[in-house]
Amino acid sequence: MVLCQGGEAAAAPVAAGKEPEVPLRREDDAGTGQPCPCAAPGMEAAGAEERRVCGCCSGLPWPRCCKAPGTKKKAGCPGLGLFYTLLSAFLFSVASLFLKKIEDVHSVEVSAFRCIFQMAFVLPGLIYYKTGFLGPKGKRIFLFFRGLLGSSAMILLYYAFQVMPLADATVITFSSPVFTSLLAWIFLKEKYSIWDLLFTLFAITGVILIARPPFLFGSNVTGIEGSYADHLKGTIAAIASTVSAASTLVILRKVGKSVHYFLSIWYYAVIGLIGCIIALFVMNEWRLPYCGKDRVFLILIGLLGLGGQIFLTKALQLEKAGPVAIMKTMDVVFAFILQILFLNHLPTWWTVGGALCVVASSSGTAIRKWQQTSKKAEQNEI
């Protein structure tokens, strides 16, 4: 065994053909000058090959040691996960705008087309990365529910977009962090404090301001699209979509980096397509769009949805859930801007007030979870 320090080696005496036992010391900083016990290349134990392990790299083989000659540690790009989240929010918002522009095509059929596009584009990635089509045995049940809940959230959200204002449906979906905290408390045994309860009440208040039930706001509800019955159905669908999306986030965090993000999207697309086909045959709603413009919109929705899903999944793998949830609130901003510019529909003050409540709730939840995670990480380092 050789003690390596600053690229210089001092040979340790060997007695009776055995190496002296040297306590492993972890180097806290590259410039501290503390010795790092690494096995020297080319040295072999008597009668057997020496296991060359570096103590400063948690037992990694010597060629992969951070102190091995010519080895460079790959530095991550700071903020890359947040940029992916912002890009994902923009792509999802534009896809929602195109969905509002489509005529005479049911939301379930739109979801089916999006799943087909995702399958077509993800399949080459699965083959290239050799991930397989089922994933690790211990993770398949999580992938199945990720696909089921994720596709259900997509279908319900698309329906909400078609029957209610774009900004209203988008704002309701941003109560997702509140439901994520509640589900994490139930399934992941995370703490649910008085602050979480307060943020939940804020989110419910925002949803009520957007839904504006007649028993609170009277029968004359303004600023909605179509009848109030459709508006109420869209609100219920958006809430159900939010709960499904929150469940998906919990599953994604549970799986983490152990499953390639292409495989996660593959399950999402396959299970979603199967569910959409069954629903379309039951409702007898399957038909090809008559207008060429609608066909172009369907293609763009598929491409944008695929891009948004990929960037969101990558963001969750690169960044903590708290900052990702905060950055995703930009989706609300994009929805308001696109609704005003391209749909000529000014949001009401009720919608603005509801948006402020929901965004404050989701941001507060995300910030609190972020602080708790950072505090635990610091305690573990100590």
The answer to whether the CB of 362 falls within 8 A of the CB of 176 is yes
Does 47 reside within a domain? no
Cβ-proximal residues to 68 (8 Å cutoff; 6+ apart), any chain:
38, 54, 62
Per-residue pLDDT of the chain (382 residues), as tens digits, is 433 443 433 333 334 444 444 444 444 444 444 444 444 444 444 444 444 444 444 444 444 444 445 545 455 576 788 888 889 989 989 988 998 888 778 888 888 888 888 888 888 888 888 878 887 787 888 888 888 998 899 889 889 988 888 888 888 887 877 887 788 788 877 777 888 888 888 888 888 888 887 766 766 777 677 778 888 888 999 999 989 988 887 887 777 667 777 788 888 889 999 989 998 888 887 777 776 788 888 888 878 877 887 888 788 778 776 677 777 778 888 888 888 888 888 888 888 888 888 888 878 877 777 777 777 777 776 6
In which domain, by residue range, is 104 found?
A: 80-381
Q: What is the rounded distance in angstroms from the CA atom of residue 358 to the CA atom of residue 372?
A: 21
**Is residue 73 a part of any domain in this protein?**
no
- Answer yes or no: are the C-beta atoms of 114 and 275 closer than 8 Å: no
Domain tally for the chain?
1
Rounded CA gap, 36 and 27, in Å? 7
- Residue 26 lies inside a defined structural domain of this protein: no
Count of beta carbons in the 10 Å neighbourhood of residue 296: 14
Residue 40, H or E segment? none
Rounded to whole angstroms, the Cα distance separating 190 from 201 reads: 19
Place of tokens 């053909």: 17
Distances (CA, A) of 313 to 229, 284, 309: 35, 33, 6
Do the domain assignments include residue 92?
Answer: yes
Asked, for residue 37, whether it belongs to a domain, the answer is: no
In this structure, is residue 30 part of a structural domain? no
**pTM summary value:** 0.68
